[in-house]
A and B are shown apart, each in its own frame.
Chain A
Amino acid sequence: MADHTNRMTRIVDHLRANWQIYVLLAPTIIWFLVFLYRPMYGLQIAFKDYSVFRGIEGSPWIGFEHFHTLFGSDQFIRALKNTVIISMLTLVFGFPMPIILALMFNEVLNQTYKKTVQTVVYLPHFISTVIISGIVITAFSPSSGVVNTVLDWLGFDKIYFLTKPEWFRPIFIGSGIWQEAGFSSIVFLAAIAGVNPSLYESAVVDGASRWQMMWKITIPSIMPTIIIMLIIRIGNLLEVGFELIILLYQPATYQTADVVNTYIYRQGLQVGQYDLAAAAGLFNAVVAFVLVMTANTISKRYSRTSLW
């Protein structure tokens, strides 16, 4: 009993001295509860026969029925497949680019030239998805776009790119590289800046060329950063830039373009099958969570510092 009162007085004393911290914290916590945790409670509709009139709590439970429906649906399976394929392709083609760029920037001697070039290649990162889609749609337009104009000059037939399923992925991944490769190189540039300069100095004494130094010193030195970034990328494998897909795809290209999030958007927000779409979203979120956690554990073991 004495212990209990003791504890109470300690808490009261603590609050008297530090109440302001809790006042400062409260808006953030309330915001997280209302806008991020409350939807998590709403996720239960993935297991319910949800109707707008009965509300989240009033709708009856139906167990895993939506998940059965999803995995029996060709559309969902296709979306899942496309997500993984687009993600993998982005990884294979998109991941090496910023590393190569960072290595190249590092070899530029003229600082003004380097700064100018960097300013240019970082820029697309700050441009909105809608603008990217606007540029892509105009540039690839069948009648008037510059891509077809050039194809025409070279003697090829014009292609209606955005209606061709086989062209969707190259265009999507290409515009992704255009937008992000420059900006993503910052991480690797920072790693290169951290390499011990005496390594280069002794290599010069030994008569090594820049090319050799790049392969023997720079790349091995930034390997930990490369591996950590790779692990993060794999952790986010399901995160495909679906906003750009929504803006670029059309029924003619669904077979190669439709990913899980665009499927959710159509089924949920356009068709209004909230419960089924929420189930697809829950599946996505759980897989993503497992991937991220695994990635974090691996990187913790690898680098002895967690990513967070």
Chain B
Amino acid sequence: MANMNLYSRGDKGFVIANMILVGLFALSTLYPFIYIASLSLSSGFAAQAGTVVLTPVDMTFAAYGKVLSEPQFWISYRNTFIYTIGGTVMSLIIIIPGAYALSRPQLYGRRFWNLMVAFTMWFNAGLIPFFLNMRDLHLLDSYFGIIIAFTCNAFNIILLRNFFESIPASFEEAARMDGANDFQVLRKVYIPLSKPAIATVTLFCIVARWNGFFWAMVLLQDEQKIPLQVYLRHVITELSDDEQFAATLIDAPYSVDTVTAAIVVCSIIPVLLIYPFVQKYFNKGILLGGVKE
């Protein structure tokens, strides 16, 4: 449709105005990121005075120096990697076989099992019973608890299941002829054919894990175990009231705002690094195939 001959001459103004509007929207989306990046590179004094608007003022890396010298920053960064990698691997190990089984026509009670998974999209017990369950399972304050408790979700399973279902049975027939069992059919036929869907689910898991904060905040008390997002929240909400920290600020080249901004930047960078890979899969319709129909 973006075909030039579908446009008449009188449309030129419309097209240009539209391009400008779209560009403005994109710039306003981008602006907060630019602001935070500039703030993180400005001096504490300039930040306090509110002179940072677009570009860094009195450029300095002092805030990054402060952040990177905090042991807690590295501890929580490491933990985020543990939760992201551990959680994503665990998800794939459980979800891929599960989705495959749910897609099999010969599965006994298939409708029931599928409904059991889908029902959790429409009804869930809520925060308190989930929390009490975790406590009763002795999974509070535990790495394993965080990794296992958010492994599956109905959306990802259904997305994968639908993809498996869309693969024509003829693909597995040859393998079946050679006497392949279900384990082998899954590994040698379905997984290789489903790379885009598996990649999508993997990226969803990685992003969800990297960004996950609420349950980590509720379930983890031990500072040795908290992920980056929880540490970031501590910094944002508590640093400004922390007198000990305030004392270090006198004559310091950074301020609460620049330090916060620097941590924000450090935590966004990995997302930016995997973002091109995530984006590759947006427009392929896999996203939509998940829940619809």
Contacts and interface: CB of A to CB of B under 8 A. Distances in A.
Q: Do A and B come from one complex?
A: yes
A273 to B, nearest CB: 9
Interface residues of A, number: 102
Size class of B's contact patch?
A: 35 or more
A243 interface: yes
Contact of B30 (A120, A133, A134, A135): A120
Q: Is the interface of A mostly helix, strand, loop or mixed?
A: helix
A97 B32 CA distance: 19
Interface string A185-203: 0110110110101001100
A258 to B, nearest CB: 15
Given A25-B102, A128-B211, A277-B127, A101 B94 contact: no
Contact of B132 (A31, A39, A152): A39
Contacts of B130: 35, 39
Contacts of B21: 104
User: Which of B4, B93, B100 is the most central at the interface, judged by chain A CB atoms within 10 Å of its CB?
Assistant: B100
B6 A200 contact: yes
A235 B14 CA distance: 37
Interface string A149-170: 1101000000000000000000
A74 to B, nearest CB: 21
Interface stretch (A76-84, A88-96, A261-269): A261-269
Contacts of A190: 283, 285, 288
Q: Is the interface of B mostly helix, strand, loop or mixed?
A: helix
B7 to A, nearest CB: 6
A278 interface: yes
A112 to B, nearest CB: 12
Interface string B74-105: 00000000000000000001110111111010
Interface in B143-184: 148-149, 151-152, 157-158, 181-183
A298 interface: no
B248 interface: no
A178 B32 contact: yes
B197 interface: no
B210 A31 contact: no
B101 A21 contact: yes
B291 A24 contact: no
Contacts of A113: 19, 23
A252 interface: no
A285 B213 contact: no
Contacts, number: 293
B32 A278 contact: no
Interface string A251-286: 000000000010011001100001001100110110
Given A22-B101, A25-B97, A25-B98, A307 B291 contact: yes
Nearest to B104: A21
User: Which of A42, A148, A211 is the most central at the interface, judged by chain B CB atoms within 10 Å of its CB?
Assistant: A42
11 contacts: A20-B183, A21-B107, A21-B182, A25-B102, A35-B152, A128-B211, A131-B264, A186-B287, A201-B6, A247-B236, A307-B292
Interface of B: 1-2, 4-8, 10-11, 14-15, 18-19, 21-23, 25-26, 28-30, 32-33, 35-36, 39, 47-53, 93-95, 97-102, 104, 106-108, 113, 116-118, 120-133, 136-137, 148-149, 151-152, 157-158, 181-183, 186, 207, 210-214, 218, 229-230, 232-233, 236-237, 255, 257, 260-261, 263-264, 267-268, 271, 275, 278-279, 282-283, 285, 287-288, 291-293
Interface of A: 14, 18, 20-22, 24-25, 27-29, 31-32, 34-36, 38-40, 42-43, 45, 56, 101, 104-111, 113-114, 116-117, 119-124, 126-131, 133-135, 137-139, 141, 143-146, 148-150, 152, 178, 182, 186-187, 189-190, 192-193, 195, 197, 200-201, 204, 207, 209-211, 243, 246-247, 261, 264-265, 268-269, 274, 277-278, 281-282, 284-285, 288-289, 292-293, 305-308
